[in-house]
Chains A and B, each alone.
Chain A
């Protein structure tokens, strides 16, 4: 240690040391933006190759008075290399929307393509997906909170390292690229060990804290992919909250593009 301090006293020696430790040198030269992006890319990279998945989602909406209402939705997802994922959401509850299904082809930068199937009229409607900031089924989740989280959808900045729930985390700021997003920025807590989202704070267009989302009950699938069992969104403005409970995760279902078309939407059950 004393040797290290001694050599570092000489500025020329310091330059030499930086050259020798060149990988470290690039880290030192990284701007907060580059570091933030690198972490986001690593998070995405770790989820690459999941192929397809399906899961059941129970959505519990709680209002300020503590009254609950429940939605049951089944989801099927297909990873599309080089583009956003494709997904199908099938609604089971409340009973009056049973049989309704939504098909989304998400894209990295352009607006997503979205179709809604209305079983009463047997009608498939292409819907405008601009409404990213709107509430999903009256919940505290906006469409953009639930959509495919491509790296390209935000710009990033590393903020700090911080312990959260005994996990060593990095805190990033990410700013939505989409001008129709309901947020000015989000603060994201990611654990360093496994690159899992632990918490997101959503700041509205006026930059005041609107919502906080916390993730818990992570399980690993196929020895690689982490999925949270519970996601809890609290709206600080309204006092309302929405809890998502995920179950029956299955990977490797053998889904392909044909399972995410207009036709498959019409017969989704």
Chain B
């Protein structure tokens, strides 16, 4: 709580400086999900509706030298109590100096370059109930000093406090046979979820090359599971968060229509020491067949040295994807991809499309599915969870 006291003090200092008008923006989204197959587990439903609200308040002082961003997030889901949740995505105070920036509060940041998975991106916890792709993140308590120098940008991070991963509840789809009981979460560190993690990242652009090197030491974002029982005696999975260190490298080469990407990590924890990497290319064909449509072709190879023992489903997999941008007034876009396991016939398919409607509405659709899942596949419990999702959002 002392941390939030410091934050409050910073806001009060800010309040005594010249005040410029703050502004609100954000969206309200109405989402419907339809699952193609009958549910596997008792209590699950065939379809669900969900309402999400994502406002953002931004205020700056002294022409942006100081600023405050507050973006809460709320979702109300018709079937899954765990998916109905609220979070503070950002409550971030920013100070900008000549060659440094200081951020404090709850924030989000993204590290990395690849599309199929984000190995290097370690700071924020995944808000898994939002989407199984893990791209939606929870706000992380952080103090971040950025030094911007000729030799690159160095980000130093102190991460006081840990955010637990979210998991679907009993009525939720896209879950394991046993429920994850987050109330019983266990930690390797005696400090539990109060462990202070540290991270750093160096980033530099060299002409066509963008290079990042990162390090992290602290509580693993992905838990291991142990078997246990909940308060009513039902068998459950109990998340166990290890201490870990991770070194990461991310590189992108941008040349004409080509993007070449690499992310590689070295992970060390009590349970495993391993390397993982994603490497690939994206090539864009512009104005295909005389139209305004651009088509990008993405190929990425996903590797994990643990092989079949990996705690992620991607250890020797190939992602192939197509990205279409219509370059029209509605900014219509489509991304279709399939990740194929090169050792089995398992495939994960994804199809995302969006288009603006009028000036402030956005309609998006998503299709996710799995095929050829074997009984030992990590996605096997989701074999009946192919789904179609449609969302209509009003931006303000």
List the B side residues contacting A137 at CB < 8 Å. Answer: 331
Q: How far is the CA of A131 from the CA of B327 in the complex (A)?
A: 11
Taking CB atoms and an 8 Å cut-off, the chain A residues in 121-158 that contact chain B are 121-131, 133-135, 137-138
Nearest CB of A to B356, in Å: 6
User: Does the CB pair B148–A261 fall under 8 Å?
Assistant: yes
User: Does the CB pair B210–A126 fall under 8 Å?
Assistant: yes
List the A side residues contacting B328 at CB < 8 Å. Answer: 135, 138
Taking CB atoms and an 8 Å cut-off, the chain B residues in 251-303 that contact chain A are 252, 254-259, 284, 286-287, 292, 294
Nearest CB of B to A84, in Å: 14
User: Does the CB pair A98–B25 fall under 8 Å?
Assistant: yes
Nearest CB of A to B323, in Å: 12
User: Does the CB pair B67–A267 fall under 8 Å?
Assistant: yes
In the complex, the chain A residue whose C-beta lies closest to that of B394 is A95
List the B side residues contacting A220 at CB < 8 Å. Answer: none
In the complex, the chain A residue whose C-beta lies closest to that of B23 is A269
User: Does the CB pair A111–B256 fall under 8 Å?
Assistant: yes
Q: Among the listed A61, A130, A269, which residue makes an inter-chain contact with B329, where contact means beta carbons less than 8 Å apart? A: A61
Nearest CB of A to B143, in Å: 16
A263 at the interface (CB under 8 A from B): yes
User: Does the CB pair B108–A126 fall under 8 Å?
Assistant: no
List the B side residues contacting A127 at CB < 8 Å. Answer: 254
In the complex, the chain A residue whose C-beta lies closest to that of B207 is A113
Nearest CB of B to A269, in Å: 6
Q: How far is the CA of A43 from the CA of B164 in the complex (A)?
A: 60
User: Does the CB pair A134–B287 fall under 8 Å?
Assistant: yes
User: Does the CB pair A261–B153 fall under 8 Å?
Assistant: yes
In the complex, the chain B residue whose C-beta lies closest to that of A114 is B254
B232 at the interface (CB under 8 A from A): no
Say whether chain A's binding surface is mostly helix, strand, loop, or mixed. Answer: loop
Nearest CB of A to B154, in Å: 11
A121-B135, A261-B148 in contact; A130/B286 too (CB < 8 A)? yes
Q: How far is the CA of A51 from the CA of B331 in the complex (A)?
A: 34
List the A side residues contacting B207 at CB < 8 Å. Answer: 113
User: Does the CB pair A123–B110 fall under 8 Å?
Assistant: yes
B247 at the interface (CB under 8 A from A): no
Most-contacted residue by chain B among A63, A125, A133 (CB, 10 A): A125
User: Does the CB pair B396–A128 fall under 8 Å?
Assistant: no
A97 at the interface (CB under 8 A from B): yes
User: Which of B45-53, B93-101, B371-379 lies at the interface with chain A?
Assistant: B93-101
Q: How far is the CA of A134 from the CA of B293 in the complex (A)?
A: 9
A63-B329, A261-B153 in contact; A94/B395 too (CB < 8 A)? yes
Taking CB atoms and an 8 Å cut-off, the chain A residues in 248-269 that contact chain B are 258, 261-263, 267, 269
A95-B359, A258-B99 in contact; A134/B153 too (CB < 8 A)? no
Q: How far is the CA of A26 from the CA of B210 in the complex (A)?
A: 48
A70 at the interface (CB under 8 A from B): yes
B362 at the interface (CB under 8 A from A): yes
User: Does the CB pair A126–B286 fall under 8 Å?
Assistant: no
List the A side residues contacting B205 at CB < 8 Å. Answer: 113, 126, 262
| Complex A-B: 29 CB contacts under 8 Å | A63-B329, A93-B359, A94-B356, A94-B359, A95-B25, A95-B27, A95-B359, A96-B27, A96-B331, A96-B362, A98-B25, A113-B254, A121-B110, A122-B137, A126-B205, A128-B256, A128-B258, A130-B256, A131-B257, A131-B284, A133-B286, A133-B287, A134-B292, A138-B329, A180-B256, A263-B148, A263-B153, A267-B94, A269-B67
Q: Which 3 A-B pairs have the closest CB atoms?
A: A95-B395, A138-B329, A123-B110
Residues of B within 8 A of A (CB): 25, 27, 58, 60, 64, 67, 94, 96, 98-99, 101, 108-110, 113, 135, 137, 146, 148, 153, 203, 205, 207-208, 210, 252, 254-259, 284, 286-287, 292, 294, 327-331, 356, 359-360, 362, 393, 395-396
Starting from the known contacts A131-B286, A134-B327, 9 additional A-B residue pairs (CB-CB under 8 Å) come to A69-B329, A69-B359, A93-B359, A122-B108, A122-B109, A124-B110, A128-B284, A133-B286, A263-B146
